[in-house]
Structure 1
Amino acid sequence: MAFEGLADRLQSTLQKIRGKGKLTEADVNEMMREIRLALLEADVNFKVVKDFIKRVKERAIGQEILQSLTPGQQVVKIVHDELKQLMGGEQSKIAVASKPPTVIMMVGLQGAGKTTTTGKLANHLRKQLNRKPLLVAADIYRPAAINQLQTLGKQLSLPVFSLGDKVSPVEIAKQAIEKAKEEHQDYVLIDTAGRLHIDEELMQELVDVKEAVKPDEIYLVVDAMTGQDAVNVADNFNEQLDITGVILTKLDGDTRGGAALSIREVTDKPIKFVGMGEKMDALEPFHPERMASRILGMGDVLTLIEKAQTNIDENKAKELEKKMRTASFTFDDFLEQLGNVRKMGPLDELIGMLPGANKMKGLKNVQIDEKQLVHVEAIIQSMTPKEKESPEIINASRRKRIAKGSGTTIQEVNRLIKQFDEMRKMMKQMTGMQKGKGKKKGNFPFPFM
């Protein structure tokens, strides 16, 4: 997961001073050394690290901090604020042209995921912003690039404009915009040709497209896993094209995160979106404050709520709440909720968005086995409708039948039924709980934990 090593180092360093009643300049110097090493190990640009440390140190050794009653907490806040500023300060929203369509040029090196990201962005525009995007196949050089975009368009039920590979990208882009006007589409996403490295001839073609269509946004797609190379690529493209923003792909992969912390400072251009997975809905608007909170272990409740709102039907949620209050929650309800949660993304990533999850016993670095969830679903699906509604009727012979039908063991069936029963009891207690009463210790009552 991106930032994992950096997050662990920074959280460990800041924990040492968080509760200190008094902070000396020597404490601050020691902390700065640790933070500097953590950032460099995360592949953050050296100059960016140097400037960041200087800013934090200047604020941390101010008299109001050293004489504060909670100096450790004040320094944590300073590091959070400076991390947020390093990544852009505020979310940079997507442009909206005064007269539709809004034109977005997608540029980048081959292998960064530019064409797939173009599809993801179109999907985001339609689902989250209720827009009507047109995808434009202007990469006439890479074999199957046009087919790839057309396949994505079909998968997403979105229109794709193409004139084949014999017409110039400039002409394709110009005609696509006219088509969008005719069809009343309000966004045009131009998938331009990638390149293996910065190529003068192809770069000139991008300049020509830019001059011809005057795009409202030019998004550079870069692979976060390439580290400092991503920053160098961004700097070069920005110099040639004056990009308006960056989309970082593969930020969910095994990357140290240095690109996300360096690009804004080096190019002075915002990170607009981040790719957090393979699925077509795995593109998130980039929020510097939320990312800073995640890195420092403060959670990211707002993104968690947004994911829930996107994937969970409001009316069904109200119905579920009623069932929980009346203790009539069934295995069918549980199965439905399990499906909703899985739609929101990898469970270990969701847990990482909970404030303080890194300090909760059993949750730090938790690895949730997706195979276990498949077993849970198989067990429930092997029950009869009556058994799902009233688990108390499931006797020994029924358990044996369910285990055989689901390809699991009787022990797994027993464990699921026991944990489900505990969960229902806890729901009943929580809904009837009065202030200061009814607290009960126990394991987290979900079969996948």
Structure 2
Amino acid sequence: MAFESLTDKLQNVFKSLRSKGRLTEEDVKAALKEVKMALLEADVSFKVVKQFISSVQERAVGEDVLNGLNPAQMVIKIVNEEMTALMGSETTEIELQPGKSKTVIMMCGLQGAGKTTTAAKLAGKFKIKGKKPLLVACDIYRPAAIDQLEINAKKQEVDFFSMGTDVSPVEIAKAGLEYADKNGNLVVFLDTAGRLQIDEEMMKELCDIKEAVTVHQTLLVVDAMTGQDAVNVASEFNDKVGIDGIILSKMDGDSRGGAALSTKAVTGKPILYVGMGEKLSDLEQFYPDRMASRILGMGDVLSLIDKAVEANAQRDEEKDREMAQKMKKGKIDFEMYLESMKQMRNMGGLSSIMSMLPGMGKISDDQLPDEKQLARMEAIVLSMTPEERQNPKLMSPQRKFRIAKGSGNDIAEVNRFIKQFEQMQKMMKKMPGLMGGKRGGFGKFGGFGGFPGGGKFF
């Protein structure tokens, strides 16, 4: 989970501060020394850490803080504010050309950073906004990159342009823009070639493209898991090519978070998006204040709400009404369980949701159902007939044995799941309106909390 290691260390520091009734200047300095070590271990740039600690200490040792009613909370508040400022303070959008003018965005980065996939993810977001994006394959050195971009374009249902590997990237870029003019594409993504390391040939190629065509935005994709190296890569690209924004990929696999905390401070360029998974929908807008809150273990409820709204937009209105009627009558069935699992996946899965809830960093993994456990439960429901899903009372021993065999589970697992489901049914009947929400019976966050395997904390 992103920032897991850093969050745990900072939580321990803040817990120590809260245990003291009053704080002295020495208490603050000792706490900030531990914060400094935690940031360095998270692979944050030494210069950035030094400046950050200096700024926090300057504000935290003031008389108003140390003699305040809740000095520990004031120090945490200052750390939160300075961390937000470190990452950019304000959310930055990709700047588009006004009206019907097309916007040309050049994607660049090292090989393996996730540049091609990120281009497709962005195209999908702009498609939703009605901008009719076009993906142009300018990487002539890896035929697989062209195939990958085309496959992802089809998945996202956006336009794709390629001229193979025998034409120069500059010519492909020119032809791609002509294609965009003819087809009315308003946002054009140039997917350029990457290298295993920065070299002059790659930089020259990028500069040649920028000289040959008008590039409105140059976006750099860096692998967050490379830590400090990601910051060095961003600095090199900015110095030699010039970038307008940064996208951090693979943030879901980085437990340290040093790249997110260093990149903006070192390059001066904003972080626009963060990649939080391999699916084409796993790209989140970067909000510095929300990210700081998540790092400090305070959760990120606003982003969770955004995910819930996005998931709700994909829901079937008629099915929602049917579910709402069932809820009102207290008739909970296994179809509703499948729907809740679908909504949870649309919101990024259980681990993604848990990372955004305040205090959930204190919950150990063995207290939560893992993804494999949820998949087994879903397999049980999928092994039922439509009649069995809609009428749980049909469950006879013979049917349970058939379901266990069909789902690859032990009969005891099936019995346990059905018993949990029956208990949940009884609870829901005693508490009418428990899951009520504006859009039917699933409530604000998709309504998976009451179902077996949905977690003990919803």
| TM over 0.5, shorter chain | yes
The change in CA–CA distance for 1:204 and 1:60 in structure 2 (over 3 A counts) is same
Q: 1:330-345 counterparts in 2 under 5 A? A: 330-345=333-348
Query: Structure 2: any 5+ residue segments left out of the alignment?
Result: 435-448
Of 409-418 and 223-232, deviating more is 409-418
Pair 1:114-2:115 in alignment = yes
- Aligned equivalent of 2:352: 349
TM-score by length of 1: 0.91
- Secondary structure at 2:251 match in 1: coil
Match in the other structure for 1:76: 76
**More divergent stretch after superposition (222-231 vs 299-308):** 299-308
Against the structure 1 CA distance between its residues 75 and 172, is the aligned structure 2 distance closer, same or farther, given a 3 Å change threshold? same
- Correspondences of 1:47-446 after superposition (within 5 Å): 47-98=47-98, 99-127=100-128, 129-312=129-312, 313=315, 315=317, 316-317=319-320, 319-359=322-362, 362=363, 368-431=369-432, 446=452
Q: Deviations over 1:182-238 (max 9, x none)?
A: 211110000112122222232122112112223221001111111111111100100
> How far is the alpha carbon of 1:161 from its aligned partner?
1.4
What is the distance in 2 between the residues matched to 1:224 and 1:285?
A: 15
Match of 2:438 in 1: none
* CA pair 48-317 structure 1, distance change in 2 beyond 3 A: farther
Query: 1:439 aligns to what?
Result: none
Contact 2:143 2:165 in 1 (8 A): no
Letter of the 2:349 counterpart: P
Partner SS, residue 345 of structure 1: coil
Structure 1 residue 397 displacement after superposition: 4.0
Deviation string for 1:353-411 (max 9, x for gaps)? 1122224xx55675643222222122223334443334344344443343233332222
- Residues 189 and 428 from structure 1, CA distance in 2 versus in 1: closer, same or farther, beyond 3 angstroms? same
Distance 1:370 1:196 in 2: 34
Structure 1 residues 327 and 19, CA, compared in 2 at 3 Å: closer, same or farther? farther
> SS state of the match for residue 172, structure 2?
helix
CA distance in 2, matches of 1:79, 1:159: 45
Which deviates more from structure 2 when the two are superposed, residues 262-271 or residues 333-342?
Answer: 333-342
Take 2:180 and 2:242, find their aligned partners in 1: how far apart are those partners?
25
Distance 1:445 1:394 in 2: 18
* TM-aligned CA distance change 1:397 to 1:169, over 3 Å: closer
Equivalent residues of 2:6, 2:255 under 8 A apart: no
CA distance in 2, matches of 1:17, 1:139: 53
Alignment partners' CA distance in 2, 1:393 and 1:280: 40
CA contact (8 A) 2:369 2:453 kept: no
Q: State how far apart, in whole Å, the 1-side matches of 2:371 and 2:433 are.
A: 33
Cα distance in 1 for residues equivalent to 2:218 and 2:347: 29
1:78-101 CA-to-partner distances (Å, cap 9, x unmatched) read 111111111111111111102521
Aligned AA (1:121) = L
1:125-173 per-position Cα deviation (integer Å, ceiling 9, x unaligned): 213x232100111122234332332222233322211222233222221
Distance 2:254 2:82 in 1: 24
Percentage identity across aligned positions? 54
28-37 vs 14-23, which moves further: 14-23
Amino acid at match of 2:106: M
Q: Does the Cα contact within 8 Å between 1:45 and 1:258 map onto a contact in 2?
A: yes
Relative distance call for 1:389 and 1:67 in structure 2 (3 A) is: same
What SS does structure 1 have at the residue aligned with 2:165? coil
Letter in 1 for 2:285: P
Shift of 1:334: 1.2
Q: Distance in 1 between matches of 2:429 and 2:301?
A: 25
CA distance in 2, matches of 1:40, 1:366: 30
CA distance in 2, matches of 1:424, 1:311: 25
Q: How far 1:323 sits from its partner (Å)?
A: 3.1
Post-superposition offset of 1:70? 1.2
Counterpart secondary structure, 2:432 = helix
Could you tell me which residue of structure 2 aligns to residue 436 of structure 1?
A: none
- Shift in alpha-carbon separation, 1:407–1:271, aligned structure 2, 3 A: same
Distance 1:175 1:398, change over 3 A: closer
Letter in 2 for 1:447: G
How much has 1:432 moved relative to structure 2?
5.7
Match of 2:2 in 1: 2
Q: Which amino acid aligns with 1:126?
A: K
Please state how far the C-alpha of 1:286 moved relative to its aligned partner.
0.9
In the alignment, which residue of structure 2 is the partner of 1:437? Answer: none
Equivalent in 442, 453, 456 of residue 447 of structure 1: 453
Q: State how far apart, in whole Å, the 2-side matches of 1:364 and 1:27 are.
A: 33
Taking the aligned partners of 2:15 and 2:426, their CA distance within structure 1 comes to 37
Q: What is the DSSP-based 3-state SS (H/G/I as helix, E as strand, rest coil) of the residue aligned with 1:237?
A: helix
Q: Alpha-carbon deviation of 1:448?
A: 5.3
Q: Say which SS state the counterpart of residue 252 (structure 1) adopts.
A: helix
Q: Alpha carbons of 1:318 and 1:27: their partners in 2 closer, same or farther (altered >3 Å)?
A: farther
Number of residue-to-residue matches in the alignment: 437
What is the CA–CA distance in structure 2 between the aligned matches of 1:365 and 1:224, rounded to whole Å?
Answer: 27
Residue-by-residue CA offset, 1:291-341 (whole Å, 9 max, x unaligned): 111111111112212222222327344653443343122111111111221
Q: Distance in 1 between matches of 2:18 and 2:430?
A: 35
1:90-130 Cα distance to aligned partner (Å, 9 max, x none):
11111110252111000111121211211111112213x23
Residues 290 and 108 of structure 1, relative CA distance in 2, 3 Å threshold = same
8 Å Cα contact 1:20-1:70 kept in structure 2:
no
